[in-house]
Structure 1
Amino acid sequence: MMVWLWGINLWFFSQSNVNYAKIFELDQNHLTHHEIWKCATWMTIVVPTSMTAYLYLYSCGEVSLAASQPVLLYLAVVIILVFPFEIFYLSSRFFLLRTLWRIVVPLQAITFADFFVADILTSMSKVFSDLERSVCRMIHRQVATIAWFEADSVCGSHSVAIPVVLVLPYLFRLFQCLRQYKDTGEKATLLNALKYSTAVPVICLSALKYHVFPDKWTNVYRPLWLLSSVMNSSYSFYWDVKRDWNLSTFTRIFKFNRPHFLSHLLYGQKWVYVWVLGSNLILRCTWTYKLSAHLRHNYLTVFAITALEIFRRFQWIFFRVENEWSKMNLKPNVHISMSTLSTEEDKLLNSSSHDV
C-alpha cells in the first residue's frame, strides 16, 4: 500500500513540476512513478500468490510445504534488496539501503532523504512489529501448527520484542534530531526530538499491562498511558501543521499566494486544507491503537487503523515535500532580490556622481 501511494505522490510531483529528485538528491537513474507502480504491481501479485499457495498446501495436509511459503517470500525480498548486480534497479536499491543504514546509525550529517524516510518508518512501526512476530514464528517453527494459537508461547503477546520494535523507529528519529542539533545548533530540532520522545511512554506503559497486576494497571498505568497518548497526539498534530507543513495559524486555508508550485494542482482548493487538517487530527488521535501492544488482539480494528495511518502519511508527504520545495525556491529569489537591490544602488550612486 505504501509503495502504491508513493507512486501517486511522485506522479503529482511530476505533474506540478516539483523537482523531487533535487529535493532528495537523487541521481539521474532514479525511479519514476511508472517504475514505482511496476514494483508495486509485482508485490501485489507475488504476495497474494504466496498466500494462496499457503492456504492450498495447508488444506491438502502439506503442512511443511505450507510453512515454507512465508519463509521463501521473506528470503526473496531480502535477496532482491541486496543483489549486487545491475538488475532490479541497482542504484535505487543501493540508495534505499544506504538511507536505511544512515537512519539506524546517524553518525553523519542528516539529509532531507534521511529524516523523510525515517518519518515514514514511524508510520509503519506497527507493520514492523507484525513483521517481527512473523519472523519469530518462522524461526520457532510456529507456522501452520497448533503452536500458532498458544498465547503464552515465545512469540506471544507478552514478548518484550513487541514494544522494542514499536519504539525503534521513534528512537531513530530522535537520534537524528539530536544529530541535527549538534550540526546546526537550531533549538527547533530539540523540540522535534521531544516530540518523538513522547512516543516512548505510550509504548512502554501499554506493554506493562502484561507485567503488572490488573488492579495496578487499571488504577495507575492505564491513566498514565491515556495521558501520554493525548500529549503525543496533540504535539504531533501541532508539529505537522506548524513545522512540517508551515500552515501557521491555518492562514493558508484562506489565502493562496503561490500559484506556481504544487498548490496550482491541488492546494488552491480550500476544501483540501479543511480535509487534510481534519483527517490528520482524527488519525493522530487513533495513534494510540496503532502503537499500543495490549490492543493488538483487536486485529481488524488495528489493521484498519494501520492502513489509515499509511494513508495519513501519504497526505502528509504532499505538504511536506511542497514546503521543502518552496524553501528551496525562496532562497534563490532572496538572492536575486538582493542582487537587484545592489544593482539599483550602484545606478543611483553613479547617477549622483555624474550630477556632481
Structure 2
Amino acid sequence: MLLCPYNILHKAERRKLLHAIGRCLFSSWDSPVYFSDVVLADIFTSFAQVVGDVWLSLCMLLPGHSILKPHTGVGSRWILPTVMSLPYLIRLRQCVIEYNHQGNTHRRPLYNALKYASAFPAIYLSAAQGMVVGEGGAAATWFGGSHIFRLWLLAGMVNSLYSFWWDVTNDWGLDLLRPRSEAKKSESLRSPPRRLVLPGLHSATPHILQGSSSIDVHDPEGISRSVVELSVRKRCHALGLRHSLHFPLLVYPFVIFLNLVLRLTWSMKLFSVVNVNSHAGIANFCLKMAELFRRWMWVFIRVEWEMIKKSRESHTKHRADDGIDEYELIPSATIERTPN
C-alpha cells in the first residue's frame, strides 16, 4: 500500500511517510534529526515484537520448516533477537547523530542513547536463557541457568525503569522524578522573566498580561481570575508536573501510572518473546494492544512538551526584541521568602 504509485489513498502522505522512514534508516551522520523522525523511530520500538513475529513467519514458510514451530538451529537462534534489536539500533543511531551534531552543546542525546542500548543485554540474555531451557537445564552450559535468569531480570528492570524515568523527566518535561534542586534550577532556566501581573501598580502601563490577553487593574473579576490561574499553575507544579499543561490535570497522574505498569509488563513480555514456546494466545494479544495504547498516550504528551518548548523559545525571542513590556527582576517565590 505504501508503494502504490497511483494517486489514491493519500499519496502525498504516503510519500512523506516513506521519506521519513528513509531518513530514519539511511540518513547521513551529519544530517539533522527532525522531531517527526524521532517520534516515528520511537513508535517503531513498540513494534519490535512485531518485527520478530514477521521474521518467524517467514522462517515457517521456508521449505522444510513447520508452521507450528520455527527452525531453531544454532545460528538461527541469534537471528531473532538481532532482528528484534533493529528498532532500538535505529533510535540509538539517531541519538548518536544528535550528540555529534555541530550545534549540540549538551550530553542529553548521549544519555538517551544509553536508554536504547540498555535493551540489547535484555534481549540477548533472553535468547541465551531460551537456549538453556531448550537444552533441558543448565548443567551442560558454562553459564548456569539461574545466573542467566537473574541477569536477564536485572537487565529488563534496568531498561524498564530507566525508560520510565526518561519518559517522565525528559520526553514529557515533568518534574515528578527530578531532584528538587535540579527541578528548581531547570524551571528557572527554561522560564524567562515573567511579565508583571499587575503592572499598573508599578508603572504607568495600564494593561498587561502574560500571553495574548490583558488584565484591567480596575476590574476585580479580571484580577481574581489571574490569581486563580497563578494558584492552579503553582499547584500543578507542586504535584510534580509543570506550569504549562494543555490536557486536564487528572490525565497526567493517570498516564504516569499506566506508563509505569505497561512498561514493566511489556518489557518482560518483549524480552521473553525470543523463546518461541512462550506465546500465550489471548494474553499475548492483550499485552500487544496495551503497548499500542501506552505508545498512543506517550505520543500526545511528547508532542505537547515539544510544542511547549518551541513556544517558549519563540516567545523568549519575541520578548527580547520587545522593549515595552515590563518583567519581574526578582522571582515571586524569592519575594515571598524575604522576611519582613
Class of the TM-score when normalised by the shorter of the 2 chains:
0.5 to 0.7
Q: Name the structure, 1 or 2, with higher relative contact order (CA <8 Å, separation 6+).
A: 1
1:169 match: 87
Aligned position for 1:268:
248
Residue 16 of structure 2 corresponds to residue 95 of structure 1 = yes
Q: Quick check: which has more Rg, 1 or 2? A: 2
Do structure 1's residue 320 and structure 2's residue 302 form an aligned pair? yes
Q: Out of 43, 53, 59, which is 1:130 matched to? A: 53
1:114-263 equivalence runs, <5 A = 114-140=37-63, 147-149=66-68, 151=69, 153=71, 159-183=77-101, 184-212=104-132, 214-215=137-138, 216-249=143-176, 252=237, 254=239, 257-258=243-244, 263=246
How many Å separate the matches in 2 of 1:91 and 1:156?
A: 45
Q: Residue 139 of structure 1: CA displacement?
A: 4.0
Instruction: Work out the CA distance in 1 between the residues paired with 2:6 and 2:238.
Output: 49
Distance 1:218 1:159, change over 3 A: closer
Deviates more, 1:248-257 or 1:98-107: 248-257
Q: CA offset at residue 258 of structure 1?
A: 3.5
Q: Answer whether contact 1:126 1:291 (CA < 8 A) is retained.
A: no
Q: Is 1:303 the counterpart of 2:221 in the alignment?
A: no
- Counterpart contact for 1:104–1:172, Cα < 8 Å: yes
Determine if contact 2:77/2:127 at 8 Å carries over to the other structure.
no
- How far is the alpha carbon of 1:86 from its aligned partner? 2.0
Q: Is the 2:91–2:116 Cα contact (8 Å) retained in structure 1?
A: yes
> What's the counterpart of residue 85 of structure 1?
6
CA contact (8 A) 2:51 2:84 kept: yes
CA contact (8 A) 2:122 2:156 kept: yes
Q: Does 1:105 find its partner at 2:26?
A: yes
The one-letter code sitting in structure 2 at the alignment partner of 1:276 is V
Measure the CA separation in 1 of the matches of 2:259 and 2:144. Answer: 30
- Over 3 Å counting, the alpha-carbon distance change for 1:202 and 1:256 in structure 2 is closer
> Cα 1:191–1:93, aligned 2, differ >3 Å: closer, same or farther?
same
Q: What corresponds to 2:197 in structure 1?
A: none
One-letter amino acid of the structure 2 residue matched with residue 298 of structure 1: H
Contact 2:41 2:91 in 1 (8 A): yes
Distance 1:134 1:237 in 2: 31
State the Cα distance separating 1:169 from its structure 2 match. Answer: 0.2
Q: What residue in structure 1 maps to residue 260 of structure 2?
A: 281
Alignment deviations for residues 296-330 of structure 1 (CA, whole Å, 9 cap, x no partner):
62333332212111110011011000011111211
- CA distance in 2 between partners of 1:84 and 1:141 (Å): 36
Aligned pair in 2 of structure 1 residues 257, 269: CA closer, same or farther (>3 Å)?
A: same
Report the Cα distance in structure 2 between the residues aligned to 1:204 and 1:138, rounded to whole angstroms.
Answer: 25
Q: CA-to-partner distance for each residue in 1:206-240, whole Å, 9 max, x for gaps?
A: 00124346224522211100000110011000000
> Structure 2 stretches of 5 or more lacking a match?
178-235, 327-340
RMSD: 2.7
Please, which moves more after superposition, 159-168 or 322-331?
Answer: 159-168
Identity of aligned residues (%): 31
The structure in which a higher percent of residues are helix is: 1
Cα gap change, 1:100 to 1:256, in 2 (>3 Å): closer
Quote the Cα distance in structure 1 between the aligned partners of 2:259 and 2:48.
18
1:60-75 to structure 2, matched below 5 A, reads none
TM-score of the two chains, using structure 1 as the length reference: 0.65
Would the aligned equivalents of 1:290 and 1:302 in 2 still touch at CA under 8 Å? no
Q: Distance in 1 between matches of 2:276 and 2:86?
A: 19
